[in-house]
Structure 1
Amino acid sequence: MVKSTPVLMAVASKDAVSINLHFGHTKAFLIYRVSADYCEFVERRAVDHYCQGHTGDRSALEMILQTINDCHAVFVVKIGDGPQEKLQQIGVTAVSDYGHEAIEASLLHYVQKSDWS
């Protein structure tokens, strides 16, 4: 059963066309409202860089978690295990299956194939 109630999805994108940024490299998440039959851009939410080379800035991660905690999922090219676990703890799913694909088509496909009954 596909969820018909719209949910918010966060996307890491440098061009607002495709999912093309690593979780820790994004300066802003694009927020979309998505249901089984529509996808609409809602807003851009600015964040600080989390990834600082091979380490992560803990305070930046906490800010990111607060910034996207109302989203069902976050779409990224890649994400480390630590941030992915933190997202899971707040109920946000990290999705990296759609890297470099068109945003709206990817979000719709994800919702349509998901079983949220």
Structure 2
Amino acid sequence: MPAGPYLQPGQQMFPGMATRPVYREPHPIRTGPLLSGLGAASVWFALLGGIGRDLLSYAWWTIAAAVSAWLVAILLGVLGDRAVAVGVALASGLGLSIATGFVGARWITTEDWPLW
């Protein structure tokens, strides 16, 4: 029996054997909701980060935005749309990484920890 596109790789050698089960995600993560969560969290970080007037207040507002975004991501992951939760978590990680980079750069250049 010639191997065709309708046969799975294991069936080509043993055509009478049963196929292996295929497991699929019951609620797959789609691009649209992921991008909407990413955009919403980016706006959230821009709003709260914009409140800060210097590096100290910017860093603390960003930390507050990250903690609140993580709580929302956990809530969405449990009760809501997991794709939006992934987008929120991605944006919060990126936003906190940017603030950490600014704090680290100031700490390296001035040898003074800027968050106290």
TM-score if structure 2 supplies the norm length?
A: 0.26
| Higher normalized contact order (CA 8 Å, seq sep 6+, divided by chain length) | 1
Structure with the higher strand share, 1 or 2: 1
| Rg (Cα) greater in structure | 2
TM-score if structure 1 supplies the norm length?
A: 0.26
